Amino acid sequence: MIKKLLQRNITESTARLGADLHPILQRIYSARGVRSVDELERTLNQLLPLTDLKGIDEAVAVITTAIRDNRKTLIVADFDCDGATSCAVAMRGLRALGATSVQYLVPNRFEYGYGLTPEIVEVASQYQPDVLITVDNGISSIQGVARARALGMQVVVTDHHLQGATLPDAHAIVNPNQHGDRFASKNLAGVGVIFYVLLACRARLREQDWFQQHGIAEPNLAVLLDLVALGTVADLVPLDTNNRILVEQGLRRIRAGQGCAGIDALLEVSGRKRERIVASDMGFAVGPRLNAAGRLEDMSVGIECLLSDDPGCARELAVQLDSLNQERKQIESGMREQAFAVLDRLNLDEDSAPIPIGICLYDPNWHQGVIGILASRIKERYHRPVIIFADGAEGEIKGSARSIQGVHIRDVLDAIATRHPGLISKFGGHAMAAGLSIERNRLDDFSSAFSEEVMRWVDEDDLHGSIHTDGELHEQDYSLDLAELLRQGGPWGQGFPEPVFEGEFRVIQQRIVGERHLKMVVQPLHSAKTIDAIAFNAVDNDCPREQQSVRLAYRLDVNEFRGQRSLQLMVEYLELMGQ
C-alpha cells in the first residue's frame, strides 16, 4: 500500500513560503518540514557558523602553526567517496593556504581495514610527518592515535561518525557528533567537516596577516565546493538546510564549468551532461565510480583523479575508474544471484516461513569490497536490517550492515557489544550503515544476538516497506515546465527526498528494453493524455498487459534524446489493479 506523506499546516506554510511559489512545490516543501522561505535559501552567507564546532580552535592552532613553520603534514583518508573527496579538499585547501609539505595516505581496506589503526600509523611514520590529520575517520581510533603520539606526531581528528564511550587522545578533534558540540547540524559529511576546518584556518591566517606577509593571494575556498557536494551526496548524509547549501553551491560551480577536471571527466565517462547535472548524478554516476577504486583496488586512483588539474590525465584516470566500476557490477551481480538463491530456497514469506527479523549471510567467496552493496540490495527486497559478511583477517570475517528506518544500526551493534562482551571485535558507523568484525566461528552466536537486539527496536509496521508519495497530480501538471521546476527545486537526496507522486494509469504500450527495464506509454485514467514511462529493473515483477490498469508511484523527469526533450515518468513502484 502506498502511503502519502503527512501534510501538516499546509495553509500556514504556504503563507510563509511565499505566494509566488508553485503550489506543487509548496506542498512538497511543507511535507518535508520546511516552514519558512529562509530554509530554502542556498547562498553561502546562510551557512552555519564555524565557531560552533567543538575543537575547531585547537585544530586551527595545530594546522596553521604547521603551515607557518613548514612542518610536514600527512592526511590519512578513508577509502570511500566521502574519504576521497575529504582528502582532495584537504590537499587542495592546505596547499592554497600556503602549506609547502603536505601528502596523503589512504589505507588499503584489504590490508589495514578502516580508520587510523596502529598498523597504518607505522606506514604513516615512513613519511616522517610532524602533523597527522585524519579525514572522515579517527573518532574511534584510540590505539592508532596513541601510537601516532608515541611516535611524536601531532594528531588532528576530523570526522563525522558517532563517537564511542572513549575518545582518542588527539591534540584536536572536530566532529559535530562528539558530545558537547553545539554545531546545529549533526549531518555534515566528513568532507563538510574538513571544509569548515579550512575556512577556520583561513580566518586565523588572515588575522595574522599571513597572506599579505608572504605575498600569497587569499584563496577562495568556494572552489572546493564541487568536491564537498560530491562527498556529501555520495555519503548519503541527510540533506538538511546547511548541507543543501553546500551541495547546491557545488553543483552550480560544476554546471558553470568551474569544477575540477576529475569530476568533469567522471561525468563525461558516465554520459552525464555537466550543464544539467543534479544531486542524483553525484550519487548514481560519479560516486559509484570513485567508490569502485576503494572497493576493488586502491582509492588513491580516485584521489589522484580528483587532484588532477590536467583534463587529459583526469580522463585517463576516470576511464580506469569506470572500468573498475564495470568490474564491480559484475562481481556484485554474481554475489546477488548467490545470496538470493540462498534466501529463495528458504521460501521466505510472511505466511509460511517468516522472514528473519535481522538477516545475516556469509560466504567465503564473497568480495569484501562489495558486501555493502549486496546488503543494500537484500534490505530493499526484504525490508529488514541486513549484514553481509566476507572473509577478513585470519580467523575473522568482516561485515557490512544496512538498516531500515527506525533501527539505528550502530546503536544496535553497540548494544550487542555491551550485552555480549567479546562477540564483536570492532565496529563503527551511522544510523543506516555500519561495519564490524567478528570471529568466523561465532557467526551463529552473532546472528542470534543480532535478531534478538533488532527485535527490541522494531514493531510490525517497521517491517513492511512503504513508498511515501507527494499525492496525485492533475492532468495539467503533467508538463515539462513542472518537471524542470522540480528538477531545480532541490537539491534532493537523503532526508530531503525527490518528489514522488502516485496515480492510476492505463498501459497503452509496453516492451522490455535493455533486458531488464519496462518501457511503457501510459494514460492517466479519465484523461486522453499519453505519457512515456520507464520502470528500471522491473522484469522480476509482474509486468502489465496493454490496456491493463496500474497504480504507479513515479517521479517526473525530462527525457533528452537526439536533441528532443519530452516528459517521462520514472516509475518507482508498479501495482497491477484488479488483482
Do the strands 102-105 and 564-576 form a parallel or antiparallel pair, or are they unpaired?
Answer: unpaired
Q: 375 and 245: one domain?
A: no
pLDDT for the residue numbered 514: 81
CB 160 within 8 A of CB 136: yes
Is 13 within a domain? Answer: no
Peptide bond into 219 cis (omega under 30): no
- Integer distance in angstroms from the first to the last C-alpha of the chain? 14
Span of 230-234, 283-287, 371-375, 430-434 with lowest mean pLDDT: 430-434
CATH at residue 387 = 3.10.310.30
Domain hosting 133: range is: 49-320
Q: What pLDDT, in 10s, does the model give residues 51-83? A: 999 999 999 999 999 999 999 999 999 989 999
Same domain, yes or no: 197 and 267: yes
Best CA proximity match to 529, nearest among 471, 573, 474: 474
Q: pLDDT value at position 491? A: 96
Sheet holding 386-391, edge to edge: 359-362, 386-391, 396-402, 433-439, 426-429
Q: At what angle do helices 287-296 and 311-345 cross, to 10 degrees?
A: 70
Alpha-carbon distance 188 to 220, whole Å? 21
Within 117-188, strands assigned E span 131-135, 154-158, 172-174
Cα distance between residue 142 and residue 124, in whole Å: 16
Lowest mean pLDDT among 171-180, 317-326, 430-439: 430-439
Percent of the chain surpassing pLDDT 90: 73
pLDDT of residue 3: 43
pTM: 0.89
**Residue 491 domain-assigned?**
yes
Query: Nine-digit cell at 225?
Result: 565546493
Residue 511 lies in a domain: yes
Going by the DSSP 8-state scheme, the letter that residue 496 receives in this structure is B
Number of domains in the chain: 3
Same domain, 138 and 228: yes
87 & 186 share domain: yes
Q: Is 25 within a domain?
A: no
Residues whose CB is less than 8 angstroms from the CB of residue 557 and which lie 6 or more positions away in sequence, other chains included: 483, 487, 567, 568, 569, 570
Helix axes 241-255, 261-269, angle to 10 degrees: 80
On whether both 206 and 146 belong to a single domain, the answer is yes
What DSSP state is assigned to residue 353?
B
Cβ–Cβ < 8 Å for 162, 430: yes
- The answer to whether residue 330 sits within a structural domain is no
- pLDDT score recorded for residue 426: 87
pLDDT-based confidence at 458, cuts 50/70/90? confident
In this structure, the answer to whether residues 262 and 403 fall within a common structural domain is no
Give the pLDDT score at 309: 97
**Same-domain status, 134 and 148:** yes
Do 58 and 161 lie in one domain? The reply is: yes
On whether both 497 and 450 belong to a single domain, the answer is no
Residue for cell digits 568556494?
222
Among left, alpha and beta (phi > 0; psi -120 to 50; other), residue 395 is left
What CATH number is given to the structural domain containing 257?
3.90.1640.30
Tell whether 203 and 278 lie within a shared domain: yes
Integer Rg of the chain from CA: 24
DSSP string for 370-403: GHHHHHHHHHHHH-S-EEEEEE-STTEEEEEEE-
Same domain, 429 and 310: no
Q: Sorting pLDDT into bands at 50, 70 and 90, what band is 354? A: low
Beta carbons within 10 angstroms of residue 307's beta carbon:
22
Q: Indicate whether 537 and 450 sit together in one domain.
A: no
Q: What is the mean pLDDT of residues 340-355?
A: 67
Q: What angle do CA 254, 255, 257 make, to 5 degrees?
A: 65
Supply the mean pLDDT for the chain: 91
How is the chain split among helix, strand and coil, in percent rounded to 5? 45, 20, 35
pLDDT tens-place string over residues 93-143: 999 999 999 999 998 877 777 789 999 999 999 999 999 999 999 999 999
Of 463, 478, 501, the last residue of a domain is 463
Residue 15: predicted pLDDT:
52
Report the SS3 class of residue 440: helix
User: Which of 438, 463, 488 is a domain's end point?
Assistant: 463
In tens, the pLDDT along 239-251 reads 999 999 999 999 9
324/320 Cα distance (integer angstroms): 6
- pLDDT (tens digit per residue) in 482-541: 999 999 999 999 999 999 999 999 999 999 988 788 999 999 998 889 999 999 877 656
Any idea what the CATH number is for the domain that residue 514 is in? 2.40.50.460
- State residue 370's pLDDT score: 92
Asked if the structure places residue 36 within a domain, the reply is no
What per-residue confidence (pLDDT) applies to 541? 61
The amino acid present at 502, given as its one-letter code, is E
DSSP single-letter state for residue 240: -
8 Å CB contact between 38 and 22:
no
Residue 530, all three cell numbers: 499519453
373/348: higher pLDDT: 373
Q: For residue 42, is it within any domain?
A: no
Relative to beta strand 102-105, strand 73-76 is parallel
pLDDT at residue 415 above 90? yes
> Is the predicted pLDDT of residue 289 greater than 70, yes or no?
yes
